[in-house]
Structure formats: C-alpha cells, structure tokens
Structure 1
Amino acid sequence: MQSNFGSQRGFTLFTALVGFILIVLSLLLVQSMISTQRSTSDIITDISEQEEMQAIADLSRADALQVFNFGIRYTIEDFSTRDSTPKDGVPDNEYLMFSGSSGWGALEAAFVKDRFGVGEGAQSNQFATIAAKHLISLLERADDARGFDIELLHPNEAEMQNILKSTFNSQSGSDEFFQVIACAEQGSGIEHYRKCNGSFYITMDMSRERVNDSDYEKFPRVKVINQQSGRVLLEPILPRGKFRIFVPVRLFKALAGARSVGFSAGRGIYDDSTFNEGIKTMNVADAKNALEAKLNTLTGPLKEESDGFVLDRFDIVGVVQTGTPNDPADPERIVSYKVRLIFQEKNDKYRVSTQEDAFYAISLNNSLH
C-alpha cells in the first residue's frame, strides 16, 4: 500500500515538474514573441519615419525645381517679348543675325552661348548663376512640414555655380544641354520654317556621368529634422538624374523665318550678291525702295499663319551711306543696312504668360564693305 502511494506521489511530482517547465517555456516563448513584435514594430516605425522624411525632402526639392522651371520659362519669354522703353510694339531685346549665320547648328550654338553663357568661349555662365542662386534661395525659404523642420546646410552659391558651369559646358559639347524641337539642322528656306516648331528643352544632367560623387557632395544639403524623435535626414539640393525644362517660347521659329529671308538659295538679302552690289551705288531712298520690294517677295510666305505663328511686319531701320556728294574721289555709296522682322505668337499653347501680345524681333544686319 505504501509502495503504491509512493509511486503516485512520484508521478504527481514529475507531472508538476513537467508542467512547471512547460509554463516557463511558454513564458519565454511569449516574451520572445513580445520582444520580436516590439523589434519588428520598431523597425517598421523606423522605416516609415525614414520614408516620410525622404518624401518631405523629395517634395521640397521638387517644389523648388518646379518654381525654378516656371521662373526660367517666364524669364526667357519676358526677356524676348518685353516692350517697355519705349512701348512701341517692338521688343526691347531683339536678336541680331549676321551674314555668317547660315548654318543652323552655328546659329543654335551662338544663341546658347549668348543667352545662357554655355559653350566654348562663353565669358560667363548666366544659367549656372541663376540656377544656383534661385534654388538656394527657394530652399532656404522652404516651409516646414507638420512635425518636421526643413533647413538648408552649406548654401555656398559660388561653389555650386562652378560645379554647374562645368557640368553645363560639358553637356554643350555633346548637344545634350539644349535641344530645339522639330527644327532639324539640315534644310533652309520657307519649308524649314514651316516644319520648325521652334520651342526647346534645357537639360540639367546631374547623373554620375556628368557630376562625380566628390563634386556632388559639395552641393548644399536639404536637412529634414523629425521634431519628435530628433532623427535627421540630409539630401543634396539636386537629386541625381536628368531634369528637362520645356520652354514653349518659339523664338527659334522666328529665327528660322529670319534665316529664310537672309538665305534663300541665292535670293536672300545675305546670299544675293548681285542685289547687294546693285544697291551700293544707290542713294538712301532708292536703296530702301529696292529693299522693300525684295523683302515683300521674301516675307510673303511668312505672313501666312503657321500654327498661330506669323510675321506681323518688317521694318528697314538702318541704311548707312558714306561718301561726299558730287565728289568723284569719294563717291556716295551704301555700306550697310538693317532689317527688322517682327513675329507674333498667337497660339496660347506656346505662351507662358498670356497677359499681353507676344512679339519677337529678329534683326538682320548686312555690311556691304
């Protein structure tokens, strides 16, 4: 009887021990699960916080680029069409074309060098200066997001200008910086003008092929601070990649039209040597009459609207004569003349601002020396 009681007691003790071990194991398992869940939750929170901060940095940079994009488009249109001193229907900033502008590629390169300061021999890089100044200014004034502070670190404008200048110049060598839309280099005359769209793209290439890591790290940095956790995220002012700015201004269509007047298979005011030799001996009045008759013929097709773009008028604004009247030793002769073509944009699709009429002035200067 005692033996059975002892066996039963031993079994009960063993069962209790096993139960205790199972309870301990269960507690350890639960603790491990709680710890794992907490760790997973922390990781998810960290990832979520990182993604939110990255999104805020990306949105801040995107907003600045968008404002800069519009500013560039507006500035180019305003500079090309502004009519204020005096307000006479003639843009203040006309584009000058000379007899050496027969090649379309050379004309395009000269425009980029003159207006953007990009290309071989450019004295200053206006576009790099504007880009650095405006982007830094915009991000220094960026609004904070709810729960996050946004700052700009190391806003070294001069250093950013130098990096951008070098980058844009390297792009210009391979025609990546500036592309005119649907206006191929080949061809000339009125057909080239009609097929030419004339708006253009400006490309800012921040890829590693153009900007190495060492220079990229020198850019000002957007700093995002989580007000609650104190976590900090730093991102360069410009993200990696290529950014294309579409400029709807059809200034190059005006240039294509002016080129068809200057160079027209030996009949233009630049390439018609017989005509130019003939007016050298005329007086000013006769020279103007001869020019007007020739221009009426050359500009006739330009006065027909091409997708809302049309030649509004032309002016003969300068005929220069030298010599002394009735002096055979120093005869009077025409030595140069200037013709101004005024084009009008009527298609709002190619306008940035539609508040006033948009006119573009292209002047053709011809020296008869």
Structure 2
Amino acid sequence: MAGLAWIDFDQADRDRTRRIIDLFDEKDTRDELGLGAVRDALSDLLFPGTSTIQTRLRYMLFVPWVYRIAAQERSGRAPAERARALEINLIRALETGGESNGVIGSVAREGLKRLPSDVYWAGLFTLGIRRLPGGRSAYLEARDPTPLWAANLPAPQEGFLTQTSFRLRGEEADFLRDRLRLSVPGTLFDELAQAHDVAQTETIWSHPGREGFSAQNRAIVKQAERFSALMHGAALLYNLLLAERAQALHGATAGDGGARVDDYRHRLEAWRAGLDPQLLADWDLDVLWELSGCTIHRVSVLTRQFVEDWRNLVQQGATEGGGSSDARQLIATRERRLKGAKARLSNDAALARWGGASGTQPLTFRWREARMHLKDLADA
C-alpha cells in the first residue's frame, strides 16, 4: 500500500508534508495536476509565514507564550506533555473569552492531533518571532531556551490561559508589524500590514488598492492571477473527464449520472467564455519560473512543460466543446505521470474514490488566511 513516510529533517520539511496531508481531506483543493510547487512559490512570495491551516494571527503570540511557560515549568511531566496540556488549556481559555471562529481544537479537545504550535511553528521562524531553527522538542529540552524568541516579544496578559481572545493589543500589533517589516520587508503581506489594510475581497487581484501596490508586488499578483485563471480550466477539464468515465462505467446509476457531466461541461464553457484573452496574450512564462526559483519550491521541467502546453492549447481554442483530443490527452498524460497506476482516468478503483469534485476551486494563494490576519492587525 502506498503512503507518505515521515521524514525527520526539520520543521519546514514537516510543515510541507503536513500541508500535503491536509489537502487530501479537502476534495475541492487537492493538487490533482501537480501544481503545488508553483502555487506555494507564489503564496510564499506574497504572504510569507502563512499557511492554509492557519486561522487567527494571535496564535503567533500564543505559541511563544505557551512554550515559554512549558520550558520554565518544573514538574514530573515530560516537557512535550507540559506544552501539550497548556495548548489544550488555550482552547478552553479562548472559548471562555467568547471566541468560536478559528479556535484550533474546539471539536477535538484533548484528542487534538494538530496543535497550534504545529500549525504556526514554521511561520514563527519565517517572521523572525522564533529566532532559532529546529523543532519544538529541541526547544523544550534546551538548557537555556531564552534566545529562541524575539527579544521584544510582548508579555502575555495575566491569566491568558484561563480566559483570552483573538483581539490583539496595540503593542502586540505593533510588534507583529515590526516583525513583518524586519523579516519579510517589501512583500505584499508587509505592505498591506503597514497600510492597516482591511480589504475582504475574494481574491488578491480584485483588491481595490491593487494599482497602489509596489511594482514588484503588482508583478507577482499579475502572475498569480494569470496562473489561477489558466489552470482553473485544466482542473475543470480533468473533472469532466472523470465524470465522463464514471458515467461510462456505471451509467445513470452512478450518483448524479449525466448531470455531473453536463455540469462540468457548462462550467468549462463558462470558464472559457470568461477568460480574458489579454490575460494570456503577452504572458512570458519564463518570468513565472524565475519568480518560483527565488523560493524553496522547485518547479520541475515536466511541470513547466505541462503549464506551457496547456497555455498554448487554450490560446488555440482547444478547450471548446468539452476539450479537443489534444487537450484531453494532455490532462490524461499529466495524471498518469503523476500517479502512475493509481491514476483515476485509468484505474477503476481509484475512480471509485472520487467524490465528484477534486481540485475545482480556483487558486487564491493563501489570500483568505492573509486577509484574516490583516483584519486582526487592523482591529487591534
């Protein structure tokens, strides 16, 4: 049976692996066509320190506070057990403080597997709040854990593990803005944070202040907009092919029968009709690959070729009428290269596990998480 092995390198490696595991549970956001490296590269360039599993910004302070207490506590429990108990206490403290949106572990409680420290540990390092590399256990077992955190980390309010909220105090917001300015200067996350931005648009490219972004950030946003628009069509065609194959195998007894096929055909046509030709006309993909190369994410030659081939087919009108044979073959070949014998378009058992929608949501590059963080900052 195939699976994911746990690789014990560093927290960044573990965080990336966790993100992959999370995406298996979100059928509409799975990376079915192997575009994750490009998606994550642009996300990191725009909103460094964030991830799709983050909820509220004050966890960037809760985690250091909890770990300081756990490191200082002297009891018979192992350091990791002390930290875990404190993070579980934090769930109750937030709920006592009236919070319900974004509380990590509100359902799982003591059975929580993904602790806030696991979710935010990598981001804490990116933003310079955590100053030293390494995992959580290494910090807890260190003789002197003091140097781990930024020297000007604000002190917690007394009793925060009994009752607290996500509302940032003024000094906390100032500290976080300083961390952005010092650790990821000039990024869009930093730029919007300094501007006290509160825009709640669906995408970053529909932001009303887009034309006022720095030239570099405008360029990255443009790349993100183009990539999301282009590859959304590939995802829709992929799902159309799955729907057609499911119908051919099982006929009208398979779920919605032909309704699902019709739905994806309509969605693909609507996508094609709404695609601005100018968005792709002068797009130099070498710029996208160059930007991606500035991050830790490596875009393979095969992925580049797939994106370039799809762009060319779209410009030639190969997605009309449910997709030309060349467009369909490109998608099928891409899945087979990624998944081998587990490809849904050739494996009946794998197809049976398809939930009817996989990777169909347009890419937004962590804007949803970033805009919540920005709102938390502005509301301080």
Q: Which has the larger radius of gyration?
A: 1
TM-score with structure 2 setting the length: 0.25
The structure where strand makes up a greater share of residues is 1
The structure where helix makes up a greater share of residues is 2
